[in-house]
Structure 1
Amino acid sequence: MPYNIAMICDFFFPQPGGVESHIYQLSSKLIDRGHKVIIITHAYAGRTGIRYLTNGLKVYHVPFFVIYRETTFPTVFSFFPVFRNIVIREQIEIVHGHASLSNLCIEAILHARTMGLRTVFTDHSLFGFADAGSILTNKLLKFALSDIDHVICVSHTCKENTVLRASLDPLMVSVIPNAVVAENFRPLSNDSHNPRHRDAPGPPPRIGPHDTITIVVISRLFYNKGTDLLIAALPRILALHPNVRFIIAGSGPKAIDLEQMIERNVLQERVDLLGPVRHDEVRDVMVRGHIYLHPSLTEAFGTVIVEAASCGLYVVCTRVGGIPEVLPRHMTEFAAPEEDDIVAATGRAIAALRVGKVRTELFHNQVKQMYSWTDVAQRTERVYDGISGATSHDQFYQGAGAGGAWSATRGRAGVQSFALIERLKRYYGCGIWAGKLFCLCAIVDYLIYVVLEIFAPRSRIDLARNWPKKEFKDEKGRDVGSSKDDSGISRKRSARRREKRDEREESQESLI
């Protein structure tokens, strides 16, 4: 059953990153499967208003003030009028927010529940429980996820972290990993000048003791990405291995410390700093190397190491967060997030490549079989079916915990109630003082919604036309649908969708 979906996050293109790529790829695949998807994010330099991307993907760049690392200033309620206008214009049915630190995501979930829309949240990060920033973030996350239909995490470690941070029932959290477009990260298999990658059978030739091995690092240069570890370990690695050089791409506040270390140790000839690179240039940088080094201190998934393995690089990474779940053991060399262990693990990787122990030319096809955005879209679509009632509760959760406390708060189909009193009960349980504050926010948000419905009625908002889709014809020239995935939708299913939309509009009217 096709849905109208709004993906909402502060982080999106043109800024590069794993969350940004995830939202774009997932949206594109959902469009291919017959759904309507729009993206709501804040304005970037030179990008304000509405932009259309490949495959008819519409992006709303809302001009809100950005305060830190592309995160908008939290105002709680000022986003509501704009959000409501977009949702009504696009006839949105499901609001899908991304990232714990995205202010637009947290606010959109609150406003969507007030408007009677189904909501999903995808968590891409890991957070602690002791420092002030994590405590505040966890409290806000608990507020947002107390009244949500379902949560998606990108790894099992991320799920455990999110369940603890937001006090969630594990049943309402699914694990759907990231993926890569393997065709965009191909090794140099047809390059006769690169003996590491070839199509001929048999083990790859050894890299001689005097051959140069290149280590690639592509990362945001922030503390949590392990830049301090890299700064400490890099000169020691180069001192122990004379025929090794580094290529480092990325930008961030730690870039100055990295440059100072290179100048202090006179390593300009052996370390190539590229600065920030576009996502479509990442593959061209990776295929210049033999080893990919990822010294991150915390990571929920680590899409970049999958991209590196797909390019035929042997991966050296820290054993933190969800990284051990991402790649099989023969593709990685793990290290503790410590300077000595990073140096030792890199040395083991260099030795393994020199003796021909690692078959890196096989990595691309193996990664291609493990990760697919089509599979991610299908699993996400199943979540949409579960929260909308298209799939029964027992079928969606496979009978697990059918009598649990969480399922007891849900209706016949296992979906959250939109009644204000039920929402206030869920918010009230967020804490002695925070619970009362969250209830007050929900009440004010509801009053703003009532005022908007009275003074800016839906009838005055023009409905946006859908992006025209390519028509497919059968052998006799008859139209069979607008896409390969929705061509078989019958009139009965279309009528069912209209009935559900009418029921939703009636429920929204009853909220006022």
Structure 2
Amino acid sequence: MAPAYNIAMVCDFFFPQPGGIESHIYQLSTKLIDRGHKVIIITHAYEGRTGVRYLTNGLKVYHVPFMVIYRSATFPAVLSFFPIFRNIVLRERIDIVHGHASLSSLCHEAILHARTMGLRTVYTDHSLFGFADAASILANKLLKFSLSDVDHVICVSHTCKENTVLRASLDPLMVSVIPNAVVAENFKPLSGPATSSISAGAGGQSFGHHHGPPPARQLGPHDTITIVVISRLFYNKGTDLLTAAIPRILENHPNTRFIIAGSGPKSIDLEQMIEQNVLQDRVEMLGPIRHEEVRDVMVRGHIYLHPSLTEAFGTVIVEAASCGLYVVCTQVGGIPEVLPSHMTVFAKPEEDDLVAATGKAIAALRANKVRTELFHEQVKNMYSWTNVALRTERVYNGISGAISEAEFYSYDAASAVAAASWTANRGRSGVQSFALIDRLKRYYGCGIWAGKLFCLVVIVDYLLFLFLELWYPRDKIDICPDWPRKKVKQQQQQQRKES
């Protein structure tokens, strides 16, 4: 039986803001709580969300009052976060700090402070970055700083792993691939087997209760095909591509319409395109929607269009397929790993190719060649948050020494040999050393100038830690009573009875 951990998930991006990272943290946390662990979340304050909040399942969220500068990321304060962070970690008796997202300041600061306090750390990367422009070079250097002293790294796709290993100069053995998942029950198609008397959003038809496989959705040659887009309207999400492609798609295919949900700086470009081409009756702009409304928007459509320019995983396309939509997406990043070929039509991230791919998807649906009504059950069998939680728990067991080094790092004989030589070269027994001199050695190798600067930051962080220990001793900090933990064995027995 694996030990139960007290885990702190730290990220700037969390609810009430909608998004893939936010959903990932919430779903993973609730499943880890179901596994008998204690999980808290540390994020910044949102409008109307400050202080401490309890969510479903006893998930506690600390909204720290820090200034937001860009796209919900806080100003990198580095040392000023330490007193609050130390207080929370000691109050909640945290064992493992798990940071998310490379653009989250709180995540990187938490990893640094946690290592100074002698806590195990894990980092999950959700995005891809380049190597050429100034912003990427700076972000990669900061990532190398954070990950020089982390216990383990998780990436959401194999493409994301390759990207992170190169960006942060990591040993591939230190990086695991654990994909995102989807709660298939929350993304049922309208005519799904378990739905009853649900009215269609656009057509107003009602579907009765079905048993067995759902009926095929037959489309006539003149039926309207609705294309859904749900995305943050930013450059990297391919909004410029979408703006250029929509008029051409609508011109080539008369009986089609678009529903676009999401907000961002590029929404003005879409609105101008609609005005210029007089497409108000064929393009519906919904603006920002909440995550719980995503399914209701998706089931109004037949095709989901995802024009992203860079994507590590793309949870939204799994949600779309689960809702019974045929997916048209750009062949970038980790997207080709996500869904099987019969659910998707791939396009290059170019206007002409996106228009052609969408046309191909419309033709396939009109010819009734695609069995979209079967997608929901297939996605349900492919992706499970319980499986993601189990694999994440295995990472926690590996870094805390609950399972042997050979078992954690190896899956076959060749990997076992590689793992043995890797740990021997690092001069450690399975887990990173907390000794200040060992930490400084790791940071010193980050570059001629950067290495020295990083060492200075770590020393100042360590001195601040010693000061806080003297100024506000641990025995003065109240320990929070734990939410009653779930008994995993009882839950498994209950699941067996239900099945």
User: Fold match, TM over 0.5?
Assistant: yes
Provide runs of 4+ in structure 1 moved above 4 Å: 197-203
Contact 1:247 1:272 in 2 (8 A): yes
C-alpha deviation, 1:127, in angstroms: 0.1
Judging changes above 3 Å, is the alpha-carbon distance between structure 1 residues 400 and 350 closer, same or farther for their aligned structure 2 residues?
A: farther
The residue correspondences of 1:316-327 to structure 2 (distance < 5 A) are 316-327=328-339
Matched with 1:508 is none
Separation in structure 1 between the aligned mates of residue 431 and residue 182 of structure 2, nearest angstrom = 32
Say yes or no: does 1:388 pair with 2:394. Answer: no
Say yes or no: does 1:432 pair with 2:448. Answer: yes
Contact 1:294 1:315 in 2 (8 A): yes
3-state SS of 1:401 partner: helix
Gaps of 5+ in 2: 200-204, 411-415, 494-499
Matched with 2:364 is 352
Judging changes above 3 Å, is the alpha-carbon distance between structure 1 residues 463 and 169 closer, same or farther for their aligned structure 2 residues?
A: same
Contact 1:203 1:359 in 2 (8 A): no
Contact 1:469 1:482 in 2 (8 A): no
Q: Normalised by the size of structure 2, how large is the TM-score? A: 0.93
Q: Normalised by the size of structure 1, how large is the TM-score? A: 0.90
Please point out which of 291, 302, 325 is paired with 1:290: 302
Gaps of 5+ in 1: 471-480, 488-512
The residue correspondences of 1:85-484 to structure 2 (distance < 5 A) are 85-189=87-191, 190=195, 193=205, 204=216, 206-398=218-410, 399-405=416-422, 408-409=425-426, 411-412=428-429, 414-469=430-485, 481=487, 484=490
Separation in structure 2 between the aligned mates of residue 236 and residue 25 of structure 1, nearest angstrom = 38
- Equivalent pairs, count: 475
Separation in structure 2 between the aligned mates of residue 276 and residue 117 of structure 1, nearest angstrom = 38
3-state SS of 1:484 partner: helix
C-alpha deviation, 1:198, in angstroms: 7.1
Residue-by-residue CA offset, 1:373-405 (whole Å, 9 max, x unaligned)? 000000000000000000111010111513434
Contact 2:186 2:295 in 1 (8 A): yes
C-alpha deviation, 1:486, in angstroms: 9.8
Q: What residue identity is the alignment partner of 1:223?
A: Y
Q: What residue identity is the alignment partner of 1:273?
A: M
3-state SS of 2:297 partner: helix
Contact 2:214 2:374 in 1 (8 A): no
3-state SS of 2:490 partner: coil
Judging changes above 3 Å, is the alpha-carbon distance between structure 1 residues 186 and 320 closer, same or farther for their aligned structure 2 residues?
A: same
Separation in structure 2 between the aligned mates of residue 484 and residue 106 of structure 1, nearest angstrom = 37
C-alpha deviation, 1:200, in angstroms: 6.8
Separation in structure 2 between the aligned mates of residue 205 and residue 59 of structure 1, nearest angstrom = 43
3-state SS of 2:419 partner: coil
Separation in structure 1 between the aligned mates of residue 11 and residue 330 of structure 2, nearest angstrom = 28
Residue-by-residue CA offset, 1:39-81 (whole Å, 9 max, x unaligned)? 0000001111100000100000000111111111111100001
C-alpha deviation, 1:93, in angstroms: 0.3
3-state SS of 1:247 partner: strand
Judging changes above 3 Å, is the alpha-carbon distance between structure 1 residues 283 and 201 closer, same or farther for their aligned structure 2 residues?
A: closer
Separation in structure 1 between the aligned mates of residue 176 and residue 485 of structure 2, nearest angstrom = 31
Q: What residue identity is the alignment partner of 2:438?
A: E
Q: What residue identity is the alignment partner of 1:484?
A: Q
Separation in structure 1 between the aligned mates of residue 174 and residue 27 of structure 2, nearest angstrom = 24
Residue-by-residue CA offset, 1:421-457 (whole Å, 9 max, x unaligned)? 0000000000000000000000000000011111111
Please point out which of 27, 30, 34 is paired with 1:28: 30
Q: What residue identity is the alignment partner of 1:298?
A: T
Separation in structure 1 between the aligned mates of residue 275 and residue 104 of structure 2, nearest angstrom = 37
C-alpha deviation, 1:483, in angstroms: 7.2
Judging changes above 3 Å, is the alpha-carbon distance between structure 1 residues 54 and 421 closer, same or farther for their aligned structure 2 residues?
A: same
Contact 1:97 1:122 in 2 (8 A): yes
Q: What residue identity is the alignment partner of 1:396?
A: F
Contact 1:300 1:322 in 2 (8 A): yes
Please point out which of 78, 81, 85 is paired with 2:80: 78
Separation in structure 2 between the aligned mates of residue 406 and residue 169 of structure 1, nearest angstrom = 11
Separation in structure 1 between the aligned mates of residue 421 and residue 471 of structure 2, nearest angstrom = 42
Contact 2:37 2:485 in 1 (8 A): no
Matched with 2:413 is none
C-alpha deviation, 1:203, in angstroms: 7.5
Contact 1:203 1:356 in 2 (8 A): no
Matched with 1:9 is 11
Q: What residue identity is the alignment partner of 1:419?
A: A
C-alpha deviation, 1:411, in angstroms: 2.9
Matched with 1:51 is 53
Contact 2:227 2:302 in 1 (8 A): yes
Judging changes above 3 Å, is the alpha-carbon distance between structure 1 residues 410 and 29 closer, same or farther for their aligned structure 2 residues?
A: farther
Q: Over aligned residues, Cα RMSD in angstroms?
A: 1.7
Contact 2:33 2:485 in 1 (8 A): no
Separation in structure 2 between the aligned mates of residue 231 and residue 272 of structure 1, nearest angstrom = 13
Residue-by-residue CA offset, 1:340-396 (whole Å, 9 max, x unaligned)? 000000000000001110000000000000000000000000000000000111010
The residue correspondences of 1:489-500 to structure 2 (distance < 5 A) are none
Contact 1:410 1:416 in 2 (8 A): no
Matched with 1:503 is none
Matched with 1:506 is none
Contact 1:118 1:149 in 2 (8 A): yes
Residue-by-residue CA offset, 1:305-359 (whole Å, 9 max, x unaligned)? 0000000000000000000000000000000000000000000000000111000
Separation in structure 2 between the aligned mates of residue 206 and residue 194 of structure 1, nearest angstrom = 16
Q: What residue identity is the alignment partner of 1:293?
A: L
C-alpha deviation, 1:485, in angstroms: 5.5
C-alpha deviation, 1:407, in angstroms: 5.0
Matched with 2:496 is none
Separation in structure 2 between the aligned mates of residue 201 and residue 300 of structure 1, nearest angstrom = 32
Separation in structure 2 between the aligned mates of residue 423 and residue 314 of structure 1, nearest angstrom = 49
Residue-by-residue CA offset, 1:435-492 (whole Å, 9 max, x unaligned)? 000000000000000111111110110100111347xxxxxxxxxx5873699xxxxx
